[in-house]
Amino acid sequence: MHFAFTPEQEQFRDAVRRFLRDRSPPAEVRRLMDDERGHDPGVWRQMCQELGLGALHVPEGRGGQGFSVTELGIAFEEMGRALLCAPYLSSVLATTAIAEACGADEAEQIVSGIAVGEQLAALALTEANGRWDAGGVELIADGDRLSGSKTHVIDGHVAYLLIVAARALGSTGEEGISLYLVAADAPGITRRSLTTLDPTRKLARIDFANVEARCISSDAAPALRRTLDIACVAVACELVGVAEALLESAVDYAKLRMQFGRAVGSFQAIKHKCADLLLEVELAKSAARYAAEAATEGDPDLPALASLAKATASDAAMRAARECIQIHGGIGFTWDNDTHLWFKRAKSGEALFGTPAWHRERLMQCWEV
């Protein structure tokens, strides 16, 4: 297990950070959060083609860049820090599911289109019951016909390819779960953008009425489990980046803001908040990076470590968001101040793929407590 990044990994982080500083400043985040698509297609293509961020961690033989989840984690930390508005999480879900579920040739063909930034793809998993696992799938596959509804589909409103988790008639639990591939403009599909608490991450509801689709895996539960573990690690890293950005903003403001003739950051009430926050953020960073390394090294304990990382990173991000607003005082509650943008990403990230309490319970089950 590595506890430090290689010089190449540090260079990669610098490259992503420079790119995002240039292309995703807060003004651009504000422009894109009001944009219906929610991202800039030109910037996304550039990210895919220049930085390889479309399918970074997918093996080259399956259409990806052949880097590891460690590099993916680095990219996600930086994306969270910059609050990037782009279809990167949806791409991780889609490319991981395809790489895990399909044969190499088919995966290579589908993933390479996503990797160059030409095609957007979305994994349609969650339904009205709000579950993020194969066992929660209720949408029915009757032969090659899909009927049912998906919701909370990340970038589902703009994706061209939909990867749909469906259940064979009469099956229960994780049995009978398949993945289907279908173009989003196929007859019988209706899509609606949902109004999201976090306007920087777009979600959609997608209804399927007897839609013809192509089955790419008929025993998809293991692929979905692995996909969600990787996605949890990625989001944990993103939330670490979110938390770091919020902590830095809070500390910078505490140094500048004068009250009672001194910087508010000289009061222990504020100092101690910041110190506690730094501790929580650093612990979360360690957990997220450890989980990413575990995924890279094929550690069988990944499900537990992914849950540990997701729970601790979303708790840290939310604490950072709350304290950042508190330290800013009244100005922190205004629309014009940027804090709420990161607050909303943290809040939405708390619920995404399961709440911290849900992940802690899963951790206990994984460790057979």
Residues that bind other proteins (CB under 8 A): 2-4, 251, 254-255, 262-263, 265-268, 270-272, 274-276, 278-279, 282-287, 289-290, 308, 311-312, 357, 360-361, 363-364, 367, 369
Measured from the CB atom, the residue of 148 and 303 that comes closer to other proteins is 303
Report in angstroms how near the CB of residue 328 gets to other proteins at its nearest: 15
Structure tokens at 162: 């939909």
Measured from the CB atom, the residue of 39 and 285 that comes closer to other proteins is 285
Report in angstroms how near the CB of residue 364 gets to other proteins at its nearest: 5
Measured from the CB atom, the residue of 40 and 293 that comes closer to other proteins is 293
- Taking the C-alpha atoms of residue 334 and residue 327, their distance in angstroms, rounded to an integer, is 13
Cβ atoms within 10 Å of 194's Cβ, excluding its own: 14
Measured from the CB atom, the residue of 160 and 267 that comes closer to other proteins is 267
Report in angstroms how near the CB of residue 275 gets to other proteins at its nearest: 4
Report in angstroms how near the CB of residue 305 gets to other proteins at its nearest: 9
Task: Tell me how far CA of residue 112 lies from CA of 55, 58, 91, in angstroms.
Answer: 8, 10, 11
Mutual angle of helices 339-351 and 302-328, in 10-degree steps: 150
Reference 73, options 286, 314, 261, 238; nearest CA is 238
Measured from the CB atom, the residue of 7 and 298 that comes closer to other proteins is 7
- Taking the C-alpha atoms of residue 234 and residue 236, their distance in angstroms, rounded to an integer, is 5
Report in angstroms how near the CB of residue 199 gets to other proteins at its nearest: 30
Report in angstroms how near the CB of residue 282 gets to other proteins at its nearest: 5
Q: How many Cα atoms sit within 13 Å of 358 on the Cβ side?
A: 13
Report in angstroms how near the CB of residue 267 gets to other proteins at its nearest: 7
Computed from CA positions of residues 144, 147, 148, 152, in that sequence, does the dihedral angle turn out positive or negative? positive
Measured from the CB atom, the residue of 50 and 276 that comes closer to other proteins is 276
Reference 182, options 204, 203, 206; nearest CA is 206
Measured from the CB atom, the residue of 192 and 272 that comes closer to other proteins is 272
CB 111 within 8 A of CB 63: yes
Q: Which residues pair with 328 in a beta bridge?
A: none
Measured from the CB atom, the residue of 2 and 214 that comes closer to other proteins is 2
Measured from the CB atom, the residue of 6 and 334 that comes closer to other proteins is 6
Report in angstroms how near the CB of residue 307 gets to other proteins at its nearest: 9
- Taking the C-alpha atoms of residue 316 and residue 310, their distance in angstroms, rounded to an integer, is 10
Report in angstroms how near the CB of residue 35 gets to other proteins at its nearest: 35
Task: Name, in order, each residue with C-beta under 8 angstroms of 286's C-beta and a sequence gap of 6 or more.
Answer: none
CB 137 within 8 A of CB 165: yes
- Taking the C-alpha atoms of residue 291 and residue 235, their distance in angstroms, rounded to an integer, is 11
Task: Tell me how far CA of residue 157 lies from CA of 150, 151, 187, 203, 294, in angstroms.
Answer: 12, 11, 16, 7, 33
Report in angstroms how near the CB of residue 283 gets to other proteins at its nearest: 4
Task: Tell me how far CA of residue 229 lies from CA of 75, 168, 322, 329, in angstroms.
Answer: 17, 24, 27, 37
Measured from the CB atom, the residue of 70 and 200 that comes closer to other proteins is 70
